[in-house]
């Protein structure tokens, strides 16, 4: 098969775009590990907008087990330069159903999170604060959501080590 010059441009154009992005991708900050605390890990990194600290955990249980999805995470983030503390979010591993909400449950207390793409967040900093306080006292946390295909998932997280991980990022991101 012989490629005409126009055909080569279709192949080379995306490669040129990717090559142009290489310096930007190389500048993505690598997080510094602040330690592991039970089922949670603490990290920090610096951006042009200032220091960011966060804790992260992955689900201990996921239902259904056969759902096709990327790894899921639950995070609590501090961005002091933007006056953000205890921002609760999840990366669920699949695109959420459009305009769906997510149910985050700590023991018997339910909280509603809004979704965008494969992420979900509390809608106010007051709710973030309330969720984090409940997480510190709680035993069990679940996140229930629905994919854009309608598949309902339930992820179960351990809260073991959460308070210690939060204390670490509280100290690192004052």
CA distance between the termini of the chain:
62
Alpha-carbon distances of 149 from 64, 96, 99, 168, rounded to whole Å: 14, 8, 13, 39
The answer, yes or no, to whether residue 30 has pLDDT greater than 70, is yes
Task: Give a yes or no: residue 130 inside a domain.
Answer: yes
Residue 161's domain is classified under what CATH number? 2.60.40.1880
Closest CA to 77 of 143, 125, 114: 125
Task: Give a yes or no: residue 10 inside a domain.
Answer: no
C-alpha–C-alpha distance, residues 112 and 121, integer Å: 9
The answer, yes or no, to whether residue 138 has pLDDT greater than 80, is yes
Task: Give a yes or no: residue 127 inside a domain.
Answer: yes
Contacts with 27 (C-beta within 8 Å, 6 or more apart), sequence order: none
Q: Domain range spanning residue 40?
A: 29-172
Task: Give a yes or no: residue 15 inside a domain.
Answer: no
Task: Give a yes or no: residue 113 inside a domain.
Answer: yes
Residues 80-126: tens digit of each pLDDT: 999 999 999 999 999 998 889 999 999 999 999 999 999 999 999 99
3-class DSSP assignment, residue 162: helix
Task: Give a yes or no: residue 115 inside a domain.
Answer: yes
Task: Give a yes or no: residue 53 inside a domain.
Answer: yes
Q: Which of 12-16, 90-94, 103-107, 144-148 has the lowest mean pLDDT?
A: 12-16
Closest CA to 62 of 159, 161, 145: 145
Number of domains the chain is built from? 1
Task: Give a yes or no: residue 157 inside a domain.
Answer: yes
């Amino acid at each position: 098969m012989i490629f005409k010059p126009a055909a080569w441009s279709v192949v080379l154009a995306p490669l040129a775009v990717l090559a142009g992005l290489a310096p930007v991708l190389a500048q993505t900050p690598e997080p510094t590990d602040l330690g592991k605390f039970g089922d949670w890990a603490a990290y920090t990194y610096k951006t042009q907008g200032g220091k960011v600290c966060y804790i992260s955990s992955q689900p201990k249980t996921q239902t259904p087990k056969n759902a096709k999805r990327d790894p899921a995470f639950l995070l609590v983030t501090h961005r002091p330069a933007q006056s953000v503390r205890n921002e609760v979010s999840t990366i669920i591993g699949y695109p959420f159903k459009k305009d769906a909400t997510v149910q985050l449950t700590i023991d018997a207390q339910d909280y509603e999170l809004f979704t965008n793409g494969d992420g979900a967040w509390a809608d106010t900093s007051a709710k973030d604060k309330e969720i984090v306080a409940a997480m510190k006292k709680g035993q069990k946390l679940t996140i229930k959501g629905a994919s854009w295909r309608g598949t309902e998932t339930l992820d179960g997280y351990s809260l073991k080590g959460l308070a210690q991980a939060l204390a670490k990022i509280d100290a690192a991101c004052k």
